[in-house]
Amino acid sequence: MPFVRLHTKLIAAFLVFILIPIYGIGIYTYREFEHLLTRQIAASTSERLQQVNRNMEREFRGMVNAYNSLTLDKNVLNVLRNPPSSARDTIDRIDQMDQKFLEISTTLISNSVYLALIDNQGNYYTNWAQTPETYERIRKSDWYGEAISRNGFMVWEMNHDNYVHRSGEKLVTLAMQIKDRDFGQVIGMLIISEPVQPFLDMLGMKNDRLKNLGFIMDRKGNFMGEDPAGIAKVYPSIESRLSNKEATFSSDVHGDRVEVFTNYISLSEWLVVQVIPHKQIFNPIRQVRNIATMTLMISMILFIAIIVGISTIFTRSLRLLHIGMKQVEAGNLDVSFAVRSRDEVGWLGKNLNTMLKKLKHQLTNEIILERKKEQAKLEALQAQINPHFLYNTINTIKWMSILKGTESITEMLVSLGHLLNMSIHRGQETITLEEDLRNVRYFLTIQKHRFGDTIRIEEHIDPATLDCMVPKLSLQPLVENVYQHGLFINGGLLAIRSRIESDTLVIEVADNGAGPSPDKLDEIRRSIADNTLSGIGLTNVHHRIRMMCGPPYGLDFERDDTNGMTCASIRLPVRRNNDGHSDRRD
């Protein structure tokens, strides 16, 4: 009977009964509906934009035809060439232009269009009531200046302020200079304006099926639509891709995917844009998704029933192993697993029997080895030099130095004695910051005799931190690291600072040495995080703090290039000496 893995049996059952059918049906259904709806929406939107394009071009053509009708009329050209010389001439010309405007309004364009004809002397004729302020508003508008600068070419301006009525509806305007065909000189300006609402009605982006957003954009980046706030939200995300005329593309707008369709109006150089949220396209397949979800739930129920039946068959041998392992847990290593199945469980039972035999043999060897280790430790302890003997010897040398009057040697011996005394008292792991600072000062005294006054020492200690408890000998390795690795060019500065931030005690040792490079500093930080920091002293400090206080606390290094300082900092929880004094015995 061939060996068949239990894992293979379960995976095969899962693939055959659940995964393959559900995955295949789900992928096929979703992709088919996605492709179908995407194609339908793209075709419908493209056709719609083309219709919008045709409608707007028809409106623009009407405005252009009105322009041609005026500029080809000899009477109109005569009015522009010969300004009125009397009040009677003025009335005649106004009456003549009113008839022409009426003719245009009834045959070429709608009655809501504003027509204005201005000659070079500032006389102007309109189909609306004139006021002095109106003429000034026209002259000060950007599109009027652009029409003058373009010297006879059409200028189309969208969605600008109404110059006839200040509070009136915004306008779409065609402005163009009129030239004398005989002499080629500019003799006036024609302005044709229409309210924006007819253009928005032609745009017609609102409908019941899709919540889309539509607008018209000119070549200067100005846009016009029924939802200015929505346009302002979407436009920055698609602006860079709108330069391609008549493009269709997908984009991301604040985390939502949208489909963008555009159509170019060549006459006015405007772009019609329609933006459809991608999720709206797939609303029709929600019902299909619900059906697929229900199918998946039913399949999962069947899958659970199948797994329960299969696991019941294949876990009988596992229960026997469980009973045997309970006996091993109780300390009985003479158990033998009688599992005979030809799968992983049978293989496991056979190997457990072998492992128990090896374990019994290994335990016997471990007992012998432990006895030998204890004997070796005893011999090592007997061979150690008593630190108290060394401390007493230093005291003896100190008194000899005092009697000889060698103050510098005496000072170094006193400091060394205090450092040694601090290290040999192993019963206490924490002391106050004040005591640890005293120990650092003794160390600095020794370093001063070694290196002279090349390094200036500054202390900025918050008095509120002096009674905080710190691991013994925390600061000395940081100070010693400055003397070992600091490279001082124009005199050194070593600053020791302490403060409390919230519930954290921060102790800093900073120096103005050359300091490590940014790469070296990153390497040191990674070493701290990975517990691979080089240097016995620094490693000891970091590991002791982590063991006493936990991972949030420990040692860190920073470089302030502005002040040229390298700072090693220790972060500890604020724990105070409640007795008001340390119990360390000197």
pLDDT of amino acid 584? 43
For the segment 12-37, the average pLDDT, to the nearest whole number, is 74
For the segment 14-21, the average pLDDT, to the nearest whole number, is 72
pLDDT band of 388, cuts 50, 70, 90? very low
Calpha distance 439→492 (Å, rounded): 21
Q: Output the CA torsion sign for 287, 293, 294, 296.
A: positive
For the segment 12-38, the average pLDDT, to the nearest whole number, is 74
Alpha-helical segments (H) within 239-285: 278-281
How does strand 213-217 pair with strand 223-225?
antiparallel
Question: Worst-scoring range by mean pLDDT, 344-348, 372-376, 563-567?
Answer: 372-376
pLDDT of amino acid 237? 84
pLDDT of amino acid 423? 61
User: Per residue in 175-189, pLDDT tens?
Assistant: 999 988 777 788 899
Contact 492, 514 (CB under 8 A): no
Mean pLDDT across the chain: 78
pLDDT of amino acid 386? 45
User: Per residue in 452-510, pLDDT tens?
Assistant: 777 889 999 999 999 999 988 888 888 888 877 766 656 688 899 999 998 999 999 99
Calpha distance 226→208 (Å, rounded): 16
Among residues 143, 141, 200, 131, the alpha carbon closest in space to that of 176 is found at 143
pLDDT of amino acid 560? 83
Calpha distance 205→225 (Å, rounded): 9
Among residues 275, 168, 264, the alpha carbon closest in space to that of 218 is found at 264
For the segment 14-30, the average pLDDT, to the nearest whole number, is 74
pLDDT band of 580, cuts 50, 70, 90? very low
For the segment 299-312, the average pLDDT, to the nearest whole number, is 75
Looking at the whole model, is its pTM more than 0.75? no
- Give per-residue burial for 127-136: e unless 16+ CB within 10 Å, then b: beeeeeebbe
User: 568: helix, coil or strand?
Assistant: strand
pLDDT of amino acid 504? 93
Is residue 286 predicted with pLDDT exceeding 70? no
Contact 76, 115 (CB under 8 A): no
User: Per residue in 321-336, pLDDT tens?
Assistant: 777 777 777 777 777 7
Query: In this structure, which long-range contacts are made by residues 36-39, counting pairs with CB atoms below 8 Å and at least 24 apart in sequence?
Result: 37/281, 37/282, 37/284, 37/285, 38/259, 38/281
Q: How far is CA 186 from CA 89, 142, 181, in A?
A: 22, 19, 9
pLDDT of amino acid 545? 86
Calpha distance 124→109 (Å, rounded): 20
Of residues 488 and 571, more confidently modeled: 571
What are the respective helix, strand and coil percentages of the chain, to the nearest 5? 55, 20, 25
pLDDT of amino acid 8? 67
User: Per residue in 87-117, pLDDT tens?
Assistant: 888 888 888 888 888 888 888 777 688 899 9
Edge-first strand order for the sheet with 270-277 is: 223-225, 213-217, 270-277, 256-265, 248-253
pLDDT of amino acid 499? 95
pLDDT band of 542, cuts 50, 70, 90? confident
Is residue 278 predicted with pLDDT exceeding 80? no
Of residues 22 and 47, more confidently modeled: 47
Q: How far is CA 135 from CA 128, 148, 288, in A?
A: 12, 15, 63
Calpha distance 464→503 (Å, rounded): 12
User: 574: helix, coil or strand?
Assistant: coil
Among residues 454, 538, 554, the alpha carbon closest in space to that of 505 is found at 554
Q: How many residues are listed for the chain in this entry?
A: 586
pLDDT of amino acid 83? 86
